[in-house]
Amino acid sequence: MSLATPFNILGEPLIELLSIDSTNMYAMAQIQEGLAISGSCYRADYQTKGKGQQAKIWGSAPGQNLLCSYVLGLKHLKEAGIVPNSLNLQQQFGLSVAISLGLTDYFSKIAGFDTKIKWPNDLYWHDRKAGGILIENVVRGSDWNWSVIGIGVNINQTSFSPDLPNPVSLKQITGKDNNVNEQLKDLSGWINKRVEEWTTGNFETMLATYNKRLYKKGKEVKFKNNNISFTGTVIGVNTLGQLIINHGIEQAYNFGEITWEQESINK
């Protein structure tokens, strides 16, 4: 198995699925069975068990939204000389930054520049959630061999479950219906550009852009840590992917250590 092009690989081949449990689960199964091709994109009309972070369910109306998972073979990128052999799981935040930037590049061209990245993995527009990212990795020993990049974006859905507090879709923003496959093609193009940028060693520059797009940067937000609420100012995200918050002192938090309790005190 080898890369077919110098880099423009994410999104090809496209495998369209009608209804499955989860595109990430399906992609992972393909990897485990030795059937995955690096660059593949699995898109589903409907997911019965769509996956979000921390075992949350991603709910979506059938056929209305963009639900997909890309398969990226890090082993093949190493073999092709696109990334160094020394690339390891410690550097996975760089890939996360690239995917977040590609997603916001794509969405902001349609919805405008109040498109933000809510740490660690959500796509936000005007304080409303428009999408999310879930990256899962396959590691053998110390070798980072595969990444499955799951992305969900609200495209045409206009009625959401009351359990979702603040969703928004492209149709609600623009007033227009959108062709989901055309949106996927555009998204793939933007993500390819950003992942290619990451492979060329531009992580520091990308992280600076990521922080410029960071949701609530410079704002006071209420968080919860171990069932204790506290208020702090969002400073930024560091090279390790930790959220830096100033609550009298600057402190860095790993994903899973804190939750957003109130998204803004002074909007």
Strand partners, 244: 236, 252
Per-residue pLDDT band at 7 (split at 50, 70, 90):
low
Beta carbons of 85 and 78 less than 8 angstroms apart:
yes
- Partnered with residue 194 across adjacent β-strands are none
Residue with token string 């410029």: 212
Q: How confident is the model over 60-85, as a mean pLDDT? A: 89
Evaluate whether 243 touches 198 at the Cβ level (below 8 Å): no
Mean pLDDT of 2-8: 44
> Is there a contact between 247 and 199 (Cβ–Cβ < 8 Å)?
no
> What is the model's pLDDT at position 165?
78
Taking the domains of the chain in order of start, what are their residue ranges? 14-212, 220-262
What pLDDT, on a 0 to 100 scale, did the predictor assign at position 97? 98
Task: Return the CATH fold of 220-262.
Answer: SH3 type barrels. (2.30.30)
Distance CA 104, CA 101 (A): 5
pLDDT digits (tens, 9 = 90+) for 155-194: 999 998 888 879 999 999 999 999 999 999 999 999 999 9
Domain 14-212 bears CATH identifier 3.40.50.300: no
Phi, psi of 15 (to 5 degrees): -115, 115
**What confidence tens digit (pLDDT) does each residue in 84-138 have?**
888 888 899 999 999 999 999 999 999 998 999 999 999 999 999 999 999 999 9
Q: What is the pTM of this model?
A: 0.91
Backbone angles phi, psi at 14, to 5 degrees: -95, 125
